[in-house]
Amino acid sequence: MKKSFVLAGLLFAASSFLVVAKDYEVKSVSGKVTYSEAGKSKSSPVKTGITVTDETVITLGTNSKLVLSADGKDITLRTPKKATVAELIAAKQGISGTAKKGKGTATASSRASDVMAEGELDD
């Protein structure tokens, strides 16, 4: 029994070293977008060509747009918010810790409010 706990602990420790943050290249920026590395309070403006990771904290201002590229795919972030790159991408993709619970049938106004909450409007 003890051997299985020790083995499980060793496997967990080894796997934690294998988890690597994903790197993203900034393809384009418009509006006020700043970044800071995790644990640091100083922020700098985001510029095209820099590399950010999942742990980089991004602050998107109102009417700002940030396009990141990873693995040949572009990700456009527009929602004004301060969060890590991983959290912003998860929010864009609809992955979150809480699920929306609706009552009844969706109406035009409820769908419009959902779109406004996501901050995604086509140009």
pLDDT digit string, tens, across residues 24-82: 999 999 999 999 987 778 899 999 999 999 999 999 999 999 999 998 899 999 989 99
Structure tokens at 45: 């403006």
Residue 11 pLDDT greater than 70, yes or no: no
Residue 116 pLDDT greater than 50, yes or no: yes
Q: Let me know the angle formed at the C-alpha of 55 by 50 and 56, rounded to the nearest 5 degrees.
A: 40
Banded model confidence at residue 105, pLDDT cuts 50, 70, 90: low
pLDDT of residue 37: 84
Residue 118 pLDDT greater than 60, yes or no: no
Q: Let me know the angle formed at the C-alpha of 117 by 112 and 122, rounded to the nearest 5 degrees.
A: 65
How far apart are alpha carbons 71 and 69 in whole angstroms?
Answer: 7
Cβ proximity of 47 and 18 under 8 Å: no
Residue spans of the domains in the chain: they are: 16-96
The residue whose two tokens read 């083995």 is 7
R_g over Cα of the chain? 19
Q: What would the pLDDT profile of 60-76 be if each residue is shown by its tens digit?
A: 999 999 999 998 899 99
